[in-house]
A = this chain, B = another copy of it.
Amino acid sequence: MSIVLSRDSQVRVMENTVTNAEKYFGQFCSLLAAYTRKTARLRDKADQLVKQLTDFANTENPEMRATMRNFAEDLAKVQDYRQAEVERLETKVVSPLKLYGVHIKQTRAEIKKFKQVQKNEIKQLEKLEKLRQKSPSDRRMISQAETSVQRASVDASRTTHQLEEMIDTFQKQKLKDLQKIFSDFVTIEMVFHAKAVEVYSSAFQILESYDLERDLEDFRAQMNGVYGHYDARPLKDTMPSPAVPWALTGQNAQTTIQNQRRDEESTEHSAEEDPVEDLRGQGQAPQP
């Protein structure tokens, strides 16, 4: 009877292992899915900020306009990386955790099957015991019952072995997957944060190099309607006021050239090797 008891406690350890895995993997899954969703919401808010910064840039004088546009571009780049982060979290963290639900249900079904085999063994043992007490002389019946017990024991022993192997595989896979999933989580986060540091460093330079005095000169010229001095540059369709009373003469050609250079610069910039490619290269779809 002691081997039956030992099997019983073994099953309890197995059941605990599976129940625990079910509970915690389920919670990890829903929490990491929520974490991913909240990250996507953060990206949405920052995208809205990018849009407002761009709109605002278009209402400002050239100096602040260029600064805000470039800053907004960098902020948008961080959101592209955040989008890649969201997609990679879904693919490499949330999805594998979801698959666990199925895996656990299969294991649970196997344990249930084994418990029935085990019950049958106990039933046969009890039957034999009763017979021995009630009809100790009925050799034929006792012998029959002994055969049934033996058959049930062989069954239970074989199933136990199978179950042991299965639970060993389950545990090994569980531990491996945990290590893999959280390593992937950490890697995805690390890549995102590292890229963000890189882009924000550039954004910081952009804001640092903003020339307030030059901008104020433009503003003062605009306020006074005077374009007598060298640095002032008129706005091109960017100020909502229809009543700005300056005369666009002489200065015009120079400004157009300046604007062309600015446009060329910004084209060159966007044609540069895009660092988001790194992530896309790893099977990530680009942000739509």
Contacts and interface: CB of A to CB of B under 8 A. Distances in A.
A94 interface: no
A254 interface: no
A257 B221 CA distance: 80
Contacts of A5: 245
21 contacts: A8-B243, A9-B245, A12-B243, A12-B244, A16-B240, A16-B241, A24-B56, A28-B56, A31-B48, A35-B45, A35-B46, A35-B49, A39-B42, A42-B42, A64-B178, A67-B179, A68-B178, A167-B223, A168-B216, A175-B212, A183-B208
B187 A204 contact: yes
Contact of A186 (B12, B164, B200, B222): B200
Interface stretch (A109-117, A131-139, A191-199, A279-287): A191-199
Contacts of A241: 12-13, 16
A243 B31 contact: no
B55 A176 contact: no
A70 B285 CA distance: 33
A105 interface: no
